[in-house]
Amino acid sequence: MKYQGLIFDLDGVLCSTDRYHYQAWKQLADEEGLSFDWEMNTKLRGVSRRESFEIILSENGKKFSEDEIERCITIKNAYYQKLLEQITEDDMSSEVRETLVRLKEAGLKLAVGSSSKNAGLILKQLDGNKYFDEIVDGTQITHSKPDPEVFIKAGERLGVPATQCLVIEDAPSGVQAAKAAGMDSAGIGAAAEPGLATYQLGRFKDLITYVL
């Protein structure tokens, strides 16, 4: 097998919390008099919380002080965590679960590589920890995607060289991060556009065709 280690993005690949990010940012933006829509939300995929807010400010042509930024992202996260209470095991599909089990049974090492500082909470609610050998999330990195740090760390923890790791991503910033880590990538959703990732996945289980 060409790949020995698979590194999965969380939001947008293993589950979808996009709508909760959107609702939480929208509530904050309304309160702060900033415009925010779905198109802007898609630009925040894979990007850290702070950088996400900086993108929203720049799209609005606004500058906030460090203290104001900190206050706003803390409020956004409180709204987001409240919404995350709704996540259940049903938010990780049986297709995703069955595919992960097959890949694991084939002897591949599996990791999560997420920019989210809420990844632990989300995986717990999904009952998703059991599929993975390693989890690297936003609490363990200093630079978020498109920086390769999260994937380099995940590859090291798995003990698999970068050339034998495949990253599965839904965000162009994540595909860029994989490239910068020296890893191949499989794009799904927005990252499945031709010319971005090494492989394009129509659906999650297509992964089996490329790795087994």
Is 11 one of the annotated active-site residues of the chain?
Answer: yes
Cα-Cα end-to-end distance for the chain: 7
Using CA atoms, how far apart are residues 205 and 195, in angstroms rounded to an integer? 21
Structure tokens at 139: 């609490």
Here's the x/- map for ligand B16, 116-155, by CB under 6 A: it reads as: xxx-------------------x-----------------
Q: Which of 9, 137, 147, 184 is catalytic?
A: 9
**Binds ligand B16 (CB under 6 A): choice among 6, 21, 131, 153:** 21
DSSP sequence for 96-160:
HHHHHHHHHHTT-EEEEE-S-TTHHHHHHHHT-GGG-SEEE-TTS-SS-TTSSHHHHHHHHHHT-
For ligand B16, give the closer residue by CB, 171 or 207: 171
Q: According to the binding rule CB under 6 A, does residue 24 interact with ligand B16?
A: no
Using rule CB under 5 A, residue 113 touches Mg ion? no
Q: Is 170 a catalytic residue?
A: no
Q: Please choose, out of 43-51, 55-63, 157-165, 186-194, the segment that lies near ligand B16 by the rule CB under 6 A.
A: 43-51
Q: Which secondary-structure segment (H or E) carries 168?
A: strand 165-169
Residues labelled catalytic: 9, 11
